[in-house]
Every structure is written in structure tokens, then in C-alpha cells.
Homo-oligomer: A and B are copies of this chain.
Amino acid sequence: MNAAKKPLVAALCGGVGGAKLALGLQYATPEAELAVIVNTGDDFEHLGLTICPDLDTVMYTLAGVSDTQRGWGRAGESWAFMDALRALGGDDWFRLGDRDLATHVLRTEALRAGHTLSEITRDLATALAVRARIMPMSDDPVRTVITSDDGDLSFQRYFVKLAAAPRVRRIRFSDADAAAAPGGVLEVLESARLAAVVVCPSNPFLSIDPILGIAGIRERLVQTAAPVTAVSPIVGGAAVKGPTAKIMTELGVPVTNVAIAEHYGDLVDGLVIDRADAAERADIEALGIAVHVTDTLMHTDADKARLAADTLAFAARCRARRHMAAS
């Protein structure tokens, strides 16, 4: 197929949970072009290095080099650097594997040399032979700040150093107002080839909201002719991964798929929820959002590919429904 005519699928994605579906989408779209637009609000500077946890999780996952047991970082990782760092009195609360470190060192050097995060991410992903295009939501730094009972915390301090223990009062995205979407991201979302936008089952408040907060992205999602479907990160009143449920509770949001649907509102045409939550279907549909009920837990790569294919088929039905409504 002519590359210029390939259908295009865009995904919005945070870290581990989202990356699983992104990998499923990579399996499920052999004939399409896949663009994964990734949250960079969790990025931070540590030991003089610029670390982009979500970009790296997506990159390692799509490259097949992630450690699926540990849930983060690279497979077959070693920790000699950390051991030496600790012995030298260095800050060791954020674990950097020897292999992982190569990514951070190269990225930091390239950023200092004036390259954009988009360019660097493309080069790293190319070196790792990732088929999908991995795109940071912005080349400008945006930093997720957790206002907690312990005061304002950068996301990684909250999440890693303090193990997400402090009570969350508010989440904000520092410098988001000044951040622009990279040209490539806007081109994807404006493309006539765009067949579907999939919001991965990442934390809506922590991982997807920063993406939606970048100038131009939300508007293009509202305007696109392509269906926008989200996969809920909530199953049976709990989060599949990470502190999503705890944070929702602390923000006063019920830990339900209905609450996720209300949060995304008219941005999404459809929501994929787990069979365990099938009872929520009617309340979500009452919001004008289509619902697809399936197994959303992704234990194996086959699970990921199936959920991705299911979600894309659901997206095609959402598009058809939209066309019918418009005609």
C-alpha cells in the first residue's frame, strides 16, 4: 500500500497501562500507520539528566525491550551504575538501570545541542526499530505538579520517592499554557487519513489531561472526523495499574467508568469498559457516549492485540453511527 494512502491511527498514551494497549495497537495495525502521542508531564531533571518516563516506557514496550515482570525499565537490566552512585553519595531514590541510562544520556546531550524532544524521540525509536511513530505531546517542558497534604510535589517525587502516599488535593501542569504541540502531532490529528483516535487506559487525570491541555490538541480532537474512543483504566471499582483509584478518591471523583466518561465528556465518542462493569453501560450511554464491553485486562501480548483490534472495530462502529447521525 502507498504510504501516503495508509490509514492512520493515533493513540494518546501515558506510561505502563497505556503502553500495553499501544503495543496491542502496533500488533493490530500492520497495514496502518500508528502514531502514539505521549504524555511528557511526568518528565523531570535528575542527576543533570532529562528523564521522560512515559516516552521511555512506550518506546521500550513497542521495541519489545521492556521488563514486563518489573513493570518499568528495560529487560535484562543491570544496576552497576546505581551501586556506584550510591557509594559516591549520589541521590538514589530514582532507579536508573545501566542500559536505560544510555537513553537519558543521549537524550540530554541532544537536547543541550538544540535538538527537539520530537527529533530525539524519533531517532531513539528508529534505533530500536520501533515501527510506530512515538511523539511527545510537546517539545516544550510541561511538568505535572501534585498539590498534596505535603505541599507541591513534582510528579516523580510524589510517585516514586514518596510512593504516591501523600493525599492529592489538586493536579496542575506547570508551563502547559506556554507549551505548543509539535507540528507532527497536529498533522496527525488533522490528517484526512486519520481513521481513529484511541485514548489508552492511562490515568485520565495524570497522563491524558496533560496531553489534552496542550494548545491545539483538544480542539483538533473535537474537530476531527475520526472517532475518538477511550479504553477505561478502571475495572470493578479499582485501577488496573498505579494510583489512579487512590487519586480519583482523593479528588472526590467516584472510582467508576461513569466518572471516567463524565471526565472525558463530549471529547470521546465511545468508551471501552470491562465485562465486570457492564452494569454501567446505560449510565454512560445516557451521557451520549457509546459503550463497548469486553475483557480489558491485558496479561499477554495476545490480550493486548485483541483489545486493540476490538477497540478499533468499536471505533469504526462509532464512526458509522456518527455518519448516520449527521445524515
Contacts and interface: CB of A to CB of B under 8 A. Distances in A.
Interface of A: 47-49, 74, 77-78, 80-85, 87-90, 97-103, 105-106, 108-109, 112, 123-124, 127-128
Given A89-B127, A127-B88, A81 B109 contact: no
A100 B105 CA distance: 14
Closest 10 CB pairs of A and B: A48-B109, A80-B98, A84-B102, A84-B99, A85-B102, A98-B98, A88-B127, A89-B127, A78-B80, A81-B98
16 contacts: A47-B106, A80-B97, A80-B98, A80-B99, A81-B102, A84-B100, A84-B102, A85-B102, A88-B102, A88-B103, A88-B106, A88-B124, A88-B127, A88-B128, A89-B123, A101-B101
A255 B314 CA distance: 81
Contacts of A109: 47-48
Copies of this chain in its oligomeric complex: 2
Contacts of A77: 80
Contact of A101 (B81, B100, B103): B81
A234 B215 CA distance: 67
A202 to B, nearest CB: 25
A48 B85 contact: no
B106 A90 contact: yes
Nearest to A74: B84
Given A81-B99, A88-B127, 4 more contacts: A47-B106, A48-B105, A78-B80, A98-B101
Contacts of A99: 80-81, 83-84
A105 B81 CA distance: 10
A108 B78 contact: no
B106 A85 contact: yes
A63 to B, nearest CB: 10
